[in-house]
Chains A and B, each alone.
Chain A
Amino acid sequence: MKQHLLIYGVLLFPSLLRAQTTLTGQVTDRKGNGLPGANIFIKGSYDGVNTDANGAFSFRTNQKDTATIAVSFMGYEPLQQTIKLDQPTVQFTARLRETATMLNTVVITAGAFEASDEKRQTVLKPLDIVTTASGGADIPAVMQLLPGAQRVGDQTGLFVRGGAASETRTIIDGLAVQNPFTSGSPDVAQRSRFSPYLFKGTAFSTGGYSAQYGQALSSVLSLNTKDRAEDNDGVSVGFNAAGISLSAFKKERITFSMNYNNLNPLFNVLKSNINWIHAPESGGTSIILTQPIGKRGLLKHYTDVSASRQAIEFRNFTGDFRPSPFTVQNRNALSMTTFQTTWDEGRWGLQTGVSYNYNRDQLGIDTVQAQTREQRMQGRVVLTRSLGDQVSLLTGAELHRYTYQNRYGVWGGSLTDWYSAVFVETEVFFTRKLAVRAGLRGERASVIGRANASPRLSMAYKTDSYGQVSLAAGQFYQTPDQTYLLTNPKLRFEQANHLILNYQRIRDNRTFRVETFYKDYRNLVRENTNGIYDPNVYRFPTSRTNNTGFGYAQGFDVFWRDKQSMKNVDYWVSYSFLDTRRLFRNYPAKAMPTFAATHTLNLVFKKRIPALGINTGATYSLASGRSYYNPGSTVFLGDKTRPYSNLSVNMSYVKILPRQFLVLYASAENVLGTKNSYGYRYTPDGSQKFAVVPPFYRFFFVGAVLNLTRKSIDPELISN
């Protein structure tokens, strides 16, 4: 019976038989530093503990013989190991490897500014585009407040580090956009065609960019459209000083918009420096469709059609300088369809797209009639493959058909170019601290019958948790400007070589960035004008041309942004120093181009007042004078304007009601009324000069947007 009792006892209290083992030791990182708070336990049991302040642990277990020890800690890769429990006390040390995160993994940043929600560490957020004073809710205008870009108030486009506007390429979802800016009058910089609300991310590269992009000597502005429309059904109505807009959206699928703008009423109120014959008037419509295909596929379609016209009175600087009319009428269409998908758990990725661009400008320049018509069809495919955490590969191809027709009075011509490109790129993480991206792009342009191959290389090294150094270098080619190709199809590709060194430090909500660069221009197109310089930007080049132009640009930028020192305040400071000279186009001598300024400073300040629903902002820009052509001067482009300065403010008010959403906004450009001039024009005999000035010294704008939705809007908008 006693025996039985023993058996019962063992059966009833099984733990009596088990001798406990004590496990002690430490959990450390790869360098042997203790990790406090790590969870260490026997797999499949409750036995375990979190490590103490030194990463040490000690606990007992009833397991016998062998056990699987599991260690887990946030930010580190989990570890499992089988150990023998053959001693009363078992020693164990676990070394954990850090998981790849934004904080500990290097990112290649030389030359690039990104605005994105998806990546946690970016310098800009999409909202910045619409909340920056002096940015006018225009993506390129806000990019001009970043280091590397220049504010050139009298010429359209993005001017980057001594590069002309034509050296910047705008890309939407990987597809090149032929005419990203609206067509306007002489001496007035134009806005881009695209609403910032279309995009989820913006990447602005000031050099050294990926082999995915070509046909840009200076810069790439890459925009990515949103993956889905508004998360609601509804309509949005906008009124502003310049016009009205209407858009309707169907949950996550369709967004349809229409707009009509007429600046005439506003221009009647404001004091203009320009005599408007017909204030800018435009209208357009667009549609965006998104359709998920399968679990990971996404099909997107975007079509935008618009028309505009304006006319001014300007001084015809080639003739007798009497005031004469200038009219421009534009028709533009862009249609693009893209498809993207991934498979094999994201290891493979595919992005494809096709697009069609149409643009027609009809100009009336005094008595001369001119017209340009451009069409571009393109297809693009990119395949990506990741091989583990360390290596990824990208390869792709592009094919474009571009046609161009130009008529300028009795001059004119047309051309067709088949442009093709293939590219391959690999990104390798040698360690989490060192990444290298190497790529090669090959291009061919049928219009000049030439091909090129351009290598690209960039690398980054993480110096500590917050800082990193990046280096980028590469060769960049661009087909010469269309107007030159009409008279000379034997030209070669223009070329730029970039070298960029960058240091960036992002800690919490503070960013510091400094970058230095050298850009070497070769084979630029030069006109043989026998030393005669014609400053008319609309002239049709008829002289003989060759590729003997060259130049350089060098300098550095500093950027500081701080969102945390003051509550609800966000500010940034950017400064760029630029030294550049070039001999190109119809320049008779090497000179600093008219679109370059040596010093550029921007101060951007934003403050939120959540209790009142108000956002306010101010932007101050200061740039040293730019060169202008003075026929009386002995030095070509040797004269400089006075420095440019501009203080602008903005304010917006948001009111959210159930199913309604109201935004009121107002902005004032150049509130101090500084009389900036962008340059001067001289009569041919040099006796009289006229300043090139902005259309308005002071400019005011107000507007409202009302959103009506079927489902109630969550008030969470700007909470916490």
Chain B
Amino acid sequence: MKKAIICLTLALAVFASAHAQNEKYTKAMEDAIARVKFMTPAAELQQTAGQFERIAGAETAEWLPGYWAAYTYALLSIKETDAAKRDAMLDKANEFYKKVAQQQPDNDETMVLAALLANARLAIDPENRWQQYVPEFEAALGKAKLKNPENPRVYALQGQSMFYTPEQYGGGKAVACPVLKQAAEKFATFKPASTIHPSWGVDTNQYLLGQCGK
């Protein structure tokens, strides 16, 4: 009996410990993800990026910490004004992306991330970079759409890019809004695989869609 109790307790303890570790990971990720918003001050975003980096370092088998680290650095790049620093942040984002691409080569979210990074590079100097990054952006989004046509971020990124393109260049509200609307519909039905899976994009899409009626 005693033996059985010890065995059971041991088994429980091991399970509890593993579970606690898992819970700790999820909790840490959730805390960090909650702070990843466009309106978050840059210093805090930087802290959050650091947190993702630490988690990625500890949980080497997981791809989500690296994914979110790359996403956070992309956000930081968009908020920054100095072109050289923007590129440096994307260099950092790219380090994480490369690892994610190795871990999850067939995941549509990886492809969306690639498109996001290409778009962020483009935004720094569109006139001179479009020849390289527009095809990259297009190709990555195209692949993601093929893989999972239900991913709302595909449409959100496409619509966003059209929204900020002048009408003369084939962009503008008229073409962007239907795509943004499509993104909103996909967001409505989209359920992330877990609380820590990619879930970003709703707010920006809603904000742009809000501008459509005007």
Given A50-B50, A231-B135, A718-B127, are A611 and B28 neighbors across the interface (CB < 8 Å)? no
Task: Report the Cα distance A658→B162, complex, angstroms.
Answer: 12
Residues of A within 8 A of B84 (CB): 101-103, 120
Q: Would you call the interface of chain B mostly helix, strand, loop, or mixed?
A: helix
Would you give the shortest CB distance from B212 to chain A, in whole angstroms? 17
Judging by beta carbons under 8 Å apart, are B127 and A720 in contact?
A: no
Residues of A within 8 A of B62 (CB): none
Judging by beta carbons under 8 Å apart, are A716 and B122 in contact?
A: yes
A319 at the interface (CB under 8 A from B): no
Interface string of B27-48 (1 = CB under 8 A from A): 0100000000000000100110
Given A714-B134, A714-B137, are A658 and B170 neighbors across the interface (CB < 8 Å)? yes
B207 at the interface (CB under 8 A from A): no
A323 at the interface (CB under 8 A from B): no
Given A46-B28, A613-B166, are A70 and B128 neighbors across the interface (CB < 8 Å)? no
B161 at the interface (CB under 8 A from A): yes
Given A12-B12, A44-B58, are A612 and B168 neighbors across the interface (CB < 8 Å)? yes
B211 at the interface (CB under 8 A from A): no
Would you give the shortest CB distance from A128 to chain B, in whole angstroms? 9
B54 at the interface (CB under 8 A from A): yes
The residue among B57, B89, B175 with the most chain A CB atoms within 10 A of its own CB is B57
Task: Report the Cα distance A701→B14, complex, angstroms.
Answer: 81
Task: Choose among A39, A611, A657 the residue that contacts B54 (Cβ–Cβ < 8 A).
Answer: A39
Residues of B within 8 A of A39 (CB): 49-50, 53-54
The residue among A610, A653, A657, A715 with the most chain B CB atoms within 10 A of its own CB is A715
B129 at the interface (CB under 8 A from A): yes
Cβ-closest chain A residue relative to B47: A50
Would you give the shortest CB distance from B148 to chain A, in whole angstroms? 21
Judging by beta carbons under 8 Å apart, are A117 and B168 in contact?
A: no
Task: Choose among A14, A47, A611, A656 the residue that contacts B170 (Cβ–Cβ < 8 A).
Answer: A656
Would you give the shortest CB distance from A255 to chain B, in whole angstroms? 14
Residues of A within 8 A of B166 (CB): 610-611, 613, 718-719
Task: Report the Cα distance A102→B130, complex, angstroms.
Answer: 21
Interface string of B43-79 (1 = CB under 8 A from A): 1001101110111011000000000000000000000
Interface string of B172-208 (1 = CB under 8 A from A): 0001000000000000000000000000000000000
Would you give the shortest CB distance from B26 to chain A, in whole angstroms? 12
Judging by beta carbons under 8 Å apart, are B10 and A11 in contact?
A: yes
Residues of B within 8 A of A655 (CB): 168-169
Would you give the shortest CB distance from B143 to chain A, in whole angstroms? 14
Judging by beta carbons under 8 Å apart, are B169 and A715 in contact?
A: yes
Residues of A within 8 A of B130 (CB): 716-718
Interface string of A597-633 (1 = CB under 8 A from B): 0000000000000111100000000000000000000
Task: Report the Cα distance A58→B46, complex, angstroms.
Answer: 17
Cβ-closest chain B residue relative to A615: B127
Cβ-closest chain B residue relative to A661: B170
Would you give the shortest CB distance from A126 to chain B, in whole angstroms? 7
Cβ-closest chain B residue relative to A70: B57
Task: Report the Cα distance A48→B171, complex, angstroms.
Answer: 45
Task: Report the Cα distance A286→B119, complex, angstroms.
Answer: 34
Residues of B within 8 A of A654 (CB): 168-169
A74 at the interface (CB under 8 A from B): yes
Cβ-closest chain A residue relative to B16: A12
- Given A41-B54, A43-B58, A714-B134, 19 additional A-B pairs, CB 8 A: A14-B17, A37-B47, A37-B50, A41-B50, A43-B57, A120-B84, A654-B168, A654-B169, A656-B169, A657-B170, A713-B170, A714-B137, A714-B138, A716-B161, A716-B165, A717-B130, A717-B169, A719-B171, A720-B122
The chain A residues found within 8 Å of chain B, CB to CB, are 4, 8, 11-12, 14, 37, 39, 41, 43-50, 70, 72, 74-75, 101-103, 117, 120, 125-127, 231, 508-509, 610-613, 653-658, 713-720
Q: What would be 12 A-B contacts, judged by CB atoms less than 8 Å apart?
A: A14-B17, A37-B43, A46-B54, A48-B50, A74-B89, A75-B88, A117-B128, A655-B169, A713-B170, A716-B119, A717-B126, A720-B123
The chain B residues found within 8 Å of chain A, CB to CB, are 6, 9-10, 12-13, 16-17, 24, 28, 43, 46-47, 49-51, 53-55, 57-58, 82-84, 87-89, 91-92, 119, 122-123, 126-132, 134-135, 137-138, 161-162, 164-171, 175
